[in-house]
Structures are given as structure tokens and as C-alpha cells.
Amino acid sequence: MVKLKSNDDKEFEVEEAAVIQSEMIKNMIEDGCATSVIPLPNIDSKTLIKVIEYLNKHINMGKAAETGEEDDLKEFDEQFVNMGWEELFDVIMAANYLNIHELMELCCQSAADRLKNKSVRAVREMLKITNDLTEEEEQEIINDAPWAFEGPEIDDTVN
């Protein structure tokens, strides 16, 4: 078992087989730096719980393919990314820090899927982005690439 500590001082025990899906921790274990608790100063406990849930489910990727549990795993992944933007970005940051390739791909793809075909207004609202461009600057951008702002597929709804 490997002990991980979140930045709000909560400790979590994770099986080594699960935690080595993180390249960063795998390297630490290989270098003998994981004898006691591994502090994760960039990850809060709420996010770490999510990440550990993912790692435990994906513990034996190879096995899943053999036993026909692929669909099960796919369903888990779909459910897993069903979270708010804030939480999603926290998990992306954590996956990036811990270097968990598959989790990173899953979450970035989910973010991209949510942004697909969305109008500028909708994206701003979803991500709480403040428009600090002047009207002229904005118009200039649109004039540069008008094709990106036109089309029947553009979706102005927020969800």
C-alpha cells in the first residue's frame, strides 16, 4: 500500500498496483522515495478522492479486456466525467501533475465534447470567462475568421 496526503492534510491508502498508473508516483516508488507518506501539495482531498476512485477502477486495464469488462469500464468513465467544470478542471490539473495519461485524455476529451459547436456566448457563460476585449477588438477577430462564427451547427445553449 502507498500513502498519499492531500494538501488539506488528509491521508489516503492506495494499492500500489493502482497508484503506479501515475507515472510520477511510479517513478518515486522505483527511486525508493515512496517509503512513507507522499505529500501532494497541489491536490485537495476532494479531487484526490476522485482520482483514487478512477485509479482503483482502472487497476487492471488488461484484465478488463480479457474478461469482457470493457463495457463496464466505459460506463464507469462516462459516469466519472459527469461532473461540473470546476471539478473537471481540478481533476485535469491533478492528472497532469500526477502524470496519469489515460485520465488526462478522458477528462480533456470530456471538456472538448462539452465545448463542441458551442457559441462564443455559451462558452463564456459555461466557463465564467470575462470578456476583456473591446467591441472593436472582438469584431476584428470575427472579421479575421468569419467562418468560425457562422453555421447552422453553432449551439447557443448552456449545458
Partner 1 sequence: MSKQDQSPDSCGDDENSKSLLKQNAPQKKVKIETECDEIDCIDWISQLPDELVIKILSLLSVTDAFRTCSLSKRWQYLCNFIDNFIYDNEECSCSDSTTVHKFISLTDNVLPRLSCSSVKKFRLKFAFDHDDGVSYNPKIDKWLEFAVHKISEDCVLNWISLKSLTLGYLFIREEHIEQIMSNCPQLESLKLNGFYGFKRLHMTSPKCMRLDHYHPDGHWGSFEYDCSFEIIAPYVQHLRVSGNFEDAKIRLGNFSTFVHASLTFSRYEYDAIDENIVKDLLVTVRCANELMLSSWFIKEISDLMFEEEDVFFEFLPLLECRRLTISSYITQYSLSGLDNLLRSTPYPENLMIFPDYVPGRIWLLGMWDKVVAALEIWLERSI
Question: Which residue ranges make up the site for partner 1 (CB under 8 A)?
Answer: 7-8, 41-42, 44, 46-47, 85-86, 89-90, 92-93, 96, 108-109, 111-112, 115-121, 123-125, 127-133, 138, 141-142, 144-151, 154
Nearest approach, Cβ of 83 to partner 1 (angstroms)?
12
The smaller minimum CB distance to partner 1, of residues 17 and 149, is found at 149
Would you call 41 helix, strand, or coil by DSSP? coil
* Kind and range of the H or E run holding 13: strand 11-14
Q: Any idea how long the chain is? A: 159
The smaller minimum CB distance to partner 1, of residues 35 and 149, is found at 149
- Report the sign of the C-alpha dihedral through residues 9, 35, 32, 64, in that order: negative
Nearest approach, Cβ of 48 to partner 1 (angstroms)?
11
Contact 51, 93 (CB under 8 A): no
Nearest approach, Cβ of 66 to partner 1 (angstroms)?
29
The smaller minimum CB distance to partner 1, of residues 29 and 39, is found at 39
What does the block give as the cell for 49? 478522492
What does the block give as the cell for 146? 468569419
The smaller minimum CB distance to partner 1, of residues 63 and 128, is found at 128
Round to whole Å and give the CA distance between 26 and 28: 5
